Structure 1
Amino acid sequence: MPTSAPSSMSTPLAMPAQAIAPQQILRVEQGLPPLDQLIGQYGQRPLVVAGDQSLGVFQPYLQAFSTTLAVAVATYGQDCSQTSLQRLRQTVANHEADVIIGVGGGKALDAAKLLANQCHCPVITIPTSAATCAAWTALSNLYTETGAFQSDVSLPRCPDLLILDYALVKKAPARTLIAGIGDALAKWYEASISSGQSQDTLTIAAVQQARVLRDILFQKSAAALAEPGSEVWQQVVDATVLMAGVVGGLGGAQCRTVAAHAVHNGLTQLPCTRSSLHGEKVAYGILVQLRLEELLQQNHLAATARHQLLKFYGDIGLPTTLADLSMGDLPLSQLQAAAEFACRPDSDLHYLPFIVTPETLMAAMVSTTAAISPCPGVGVAMAVACCPKDLGRSETIALPENLRTGFCTDEVTP
């Protein structure tokens, strides 16, 4: 007689599953893909979630499957927010949607993924720019109605289908790809720190992928931006949309965001940052993170890496200072508010292997272009700490005593 299976086999173990990649990935080089067939695998009543601009460029695609499927369209609003999601959930119920299609940039795709999870629907992501890896990941960022970052939400699975149509992405402004390069670069600078000394095989693989990703971007970004639609351009788009997602998928919780994204999150608390893209703020945040490593760990490799990035940023057009983010005249009180948010207790900034206070963070934020100091000791010159080039004011930052040692008046580049 057959024996019954052990109870441990019949009862699912309460173990967290790691969401590594979308179930299917389709890369389209030319011509419209058979969207009605692709979407029909997942449902017959799709709800398209997009922004107003993305809907405009998506119209030919929408027409390709709206005759065979019962399609509804909804915009996510200004941000992926609780208010927006509440409205979208009602739209799902009214339409009786059975599959969600996210079309657009990071916020549209985040809204679609989170909505699909809340409504227990499959989700398809179709990015219209290469500005983020949101089309890949099992993660959504929540913002307030005014665009201030609130929290990130881990999702149980990556999208069911990712459609990367290069012709669609090519329609986006070059600035979006530049921002995507900045966002993708952070994978190396953050994962190499947050992974620590982990010997986990997938974590090691993720960190090495992040290093390769960085090298690809260093080598190919300038050529890609000079030749939109070319083979090298496609390779860089693959790097920002797909390969950056691989790093997060393989590394999971061990390859977290750290200071670069924490700085981004802090800056979003200021209304004046609405005009800058996610990846632009993150790229600036990488410089801040490296500057912190210089100031608090006497890390000369971080200084060298920062200056390597400054050259690269200048070549492709990424911001290097607050002024480049249109925050050159930022009042000290607002800078402090951003720094305090970035340093809040649950911030990813605290995955750094040293303690960072709002004061030291502000010192790093206003000295991202500082020269490599020849002076011994740890410290940042007071000229850096109240740099009018970045702050646009004469107010000073009160630094802790340990940061006021070894001051060098030649730390700031003219």
Structure 2
Amino acid sequence: MNFKRWLPRRFNPVFAAFLIVAFLSGIAGALQAPTLSLFLTTEVKVRPLWVGLFYTLNAVAGIIVSFLLAKRSDTQGDRRRLILLCCLMAVGNSLLFAFNRDYLTLITAGVLLAAIANTAMPQIFALAREYADHSAREVVMFSSVMRAQLSLAWVIGPPLSFMLALNYGFTVMFLVAAAIFVISALLVWLILPSVPRAQVEISVDSPPIAPISAWRDPDVRLLFLASMLMWTCNTMYIIDMPLYITADLGLPERLAGLLMGTAAGLEIPAMLLAGYYVKRFGKRNMMLFAVAAGVLFYAGLALFKFKAALMVLQLFNAVFIGIIAGIGMLYFQELMPGRPGAATTMFTNSISTGVILAGILQGALVENFGHYAVYWLITLLAMLALWMCARVREV
């Protein structure tokens, strides 16, 4: 495999900074997300329905804020400064969770801070896309390598999260996350570039420019709905799995971190291979292959309940998430040329919308039918996503 076409000939501090910022932001997020349901259940002491409501409101706020910021970021202002602001809000959010155990405060002030903070990642990828275009780098591989940093972060983050939370407490865990966000903010401030807006030239052979409302494009709409369902499945799994393996299967709590870390580790080669072979097989076929792997993964969770099977199934999980996380974002960008911020945010908002559905469905299902029902439902949702994805045109 020849990567010379996208690697810089000499060390490039900006290139390295993008990778490090993506990695550190991913680490900080991976410290908080895997144990959030456990934190709300054990520390804040709320019922499963209120855990699901927290995820839902957090996602709703994230969609509203990120859409507003994305629209502005593609037309005016310095994207780098917006990323810096988001990192600082992430520091404040981590400190709030470190020292507060009041549900009402967390679901109001915490959700608002998180909504702004979570906008950082799509803006980092949008800036990276502009930087790659501006410096004539191979966009697909550059994006895939950046996305691989998030997967690497999730190899380390979940096991570290459970280790810190179970051995030293949630306060220490959130303080570590805050410190990492501070380092990320410093790198953004000192090293990341301010890339001038590219003017999109229209020619006879160029693809049509996305309309003001991308939702009017049936392919964008279908891809958004399919992606939403994929991330609904993934989020329901993340919310429910730490509770399911301890409450229903009687397995140790640390296994949740091990499962997430294993999947993230396997995602890295899956993501890099997808970025390399996407030109040969096409984005649509790669996505179909990924979602089919997701169907097998979730069906396996419903059928197998012992540790060895859960570990083996992470291979299918890695193929699923590794491909849709990297290729899915590029798919939106290709369907919406000239609008990297809006396209990336459309992708991340499909994740947020999936989180909304996941929070509602997981909480309601567990309250009424128990944890086991979750995995049959997400298998059906993954099959529906596969059907929708098959109807999106290739680009």
Q: TM-score range by the shorter chain?
A: under 0.3
Q: Please report the TM-score for the alignment, with normalisation by the length of structure 1.
A: 0.25
**Larger fraction in strand:** 1
Q: Please report the TM-score for the alignment, with normalisation by the length of structure 2.
A: 0.26
**Larger fraction in helix:** 2
Instruction: Name the larger-Rg structure.
Output: 1
